[in-house]
């Protein structure tokens, strides 16, 4: 009896589905792995390069707002040291007071903004809004060291403080004046106006 029931069900199913048969189209997938891998690699490399460029542009935008923008010193009150190159190892030539307007920024390198006058300042101390207040003491933007051969307004300021003619050039006369000051004040005697000597002078 069961066999008869199953036979009837099977023939009924075959009858119901005979007109509903369908076939899928044959898909031929041919991959050239060498060619496709190179294309994928180039795509990912291009995306990576674009992301790196955008990240660099965003970092630079913290200090570089584009030509024609106004830039100001914005520190904790201290002067901003101006250097001949884009690192603290380059000689300081002058300092801009907090809140003062800077020359136009024309580039950005190693965390330093290049000014239109050819000098560099630490980019994290500049802004499109001026800082307020003034705190006497050493400037920010890396240590200041003035020694034989240095020149600029920072040297002239040192010379005025020491009672030397403010020529703006650190020659042997300025070096002797610094050495004498160091002897009188118990500082290391080397004729170099480094952070310790400048701090003693009230910079």
Beta-bridge partners for 169: 151
Which pLDDT score, from 0 to 100, does residue 196 have?
Answer: 85
From 48-52, 84-88, 176-180, 188-192, the region with the lowest mean pLDDT: 48-52
Q: What confidence tier does 180 reach under pLDDT thresholds 50, 70, 90?
A: very high
Res. 16: pLDDT tops 50 = no
Which pLDDT score, from 0 to 100, does residue 70 have?
Answer: 86
Residue 13 lies in a domain: no
At 60-79, the pLDDT tens digits run 444 444 545 789 999 988 88
Q: Report H helices in 18-137.
A: 33-61
Q: What confidence tier does 144 reach under pLDDT thresholds 50, 70, 90?
A: confident
| Predicted structure pTM score | 0.48
Residue 30 lies in a domain: no
Residue 110 lies in a domain: yes
For residue 70, how many other CB atoms are within 10 A of its CB?
A: 13
Residue 39 lies in a domain: no
Strand 92-96, strand 112-115: pairing: unpaired
Same domain, 101 and 172: no
Q: Are 61 and 117 in contact (CB under 8 A)?
A: no
Which pLDDT score, from 0 to 100, does residue 166 have?
Answer: 92
- Domain hosting 194: range is 153-200
Same domain, 60 and 128: yes
Residue 145 lies in a domain: no
Residue 23 lies in a domain: no
C-alpha span between 95 and 118 (Å, rounded) = 14
C-alpha span between 130 and 138 (Å, rounded) = 19
Which pLDDT score, from 0 to 100, does residue 42 have?
Answer: 61
- Tell me the three state secondary structure of residue 158: helix
When pLDDT is averaged across residues 135-163 and rounded to a whole number, the result is: 81
At 69-128, the pLDDT tens digits run 789 999 988 889 898 889 877 878 888 899 999 999 999 998 999 999 999 999 999 998
Same domain, 95 and 127: yes
Same domain, 161 and 98: no
Which pLDDT score, from 0 to 100, does residue 17 have?
Answer: 47
Residue 85 lies in a domain: yes
Torsion, Cα 113 114 120 123, to 10 degrees, reads -10
pLDDT averaged over every residue in the chain: 76
When pLDDT is averaged across residues 159-185 and rounded to a whole number, the result is: 93
When pLDDT is averaged across residues 159-181 and rounded to a whole number, the result is: 93
From 17-21, 44-48, 97-101, 196-200, the region with the lowest mean pLDDT: 17-21
Beta-bridge partners for 177: none
Same domain, 108 and 68: yes
Taking CA atoms, 187 is separated from 20, 155, 170, 200, in Å, by: 102, 19, 19, 9
Residue 168 lies in a domain: yes
C-alpha span between 182 and 165 (Å, rounded) = 19
The tokens of 123 are what? 């980019």
For a pLDDT cut of 90, what percent of the chain falls above it?
Answer: 30
Q: Are 77 and 86 in contact (CB under 8 A)?
A: no
Same domain, 102 and 160: no
């Amino acid at each position: 009896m069961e066999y008869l029931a199953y036979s009837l069900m099977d023939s009924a199913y075959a009858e119901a589905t005979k007109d509903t048969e369908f076939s899928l189209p044959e898909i031929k997938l041919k991959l050239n792995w060498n060619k496709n891998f190179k294309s994928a690699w180039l795509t990912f490399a291009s995306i990576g390069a674009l992301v790196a460029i955008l990240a660099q542009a965003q970092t630079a935008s913290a200090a570089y707002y584009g030509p024609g923008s106004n830039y100001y010193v914005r520190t904790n009150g201290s002067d901003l040291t101006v250097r001949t190159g884009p690192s603290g190892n380059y000689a300081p030539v002058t300092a801009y007071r907090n809140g003062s307007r800077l020359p136009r920024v024309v580039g950005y390198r190693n965390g330093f903004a290049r000014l239109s006058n050819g000098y560099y300042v630490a980019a994290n101390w500049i802004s499109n809004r001026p800082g307020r207040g003034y705190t006497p003491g050493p400037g920010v933007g890396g240590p200041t060291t003035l020694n034989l051969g240095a020149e600029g307004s920072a040297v002239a300021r040192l010379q005025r403080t020491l009672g030397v003619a403010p020529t703006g050039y650190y020659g042997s006369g300025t070096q002797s004046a610094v050495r004498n000051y160091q002897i009188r004040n118990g500082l290391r005697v080397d004729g170099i106006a480094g952070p310790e000597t400048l701090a003693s002078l009230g910079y």
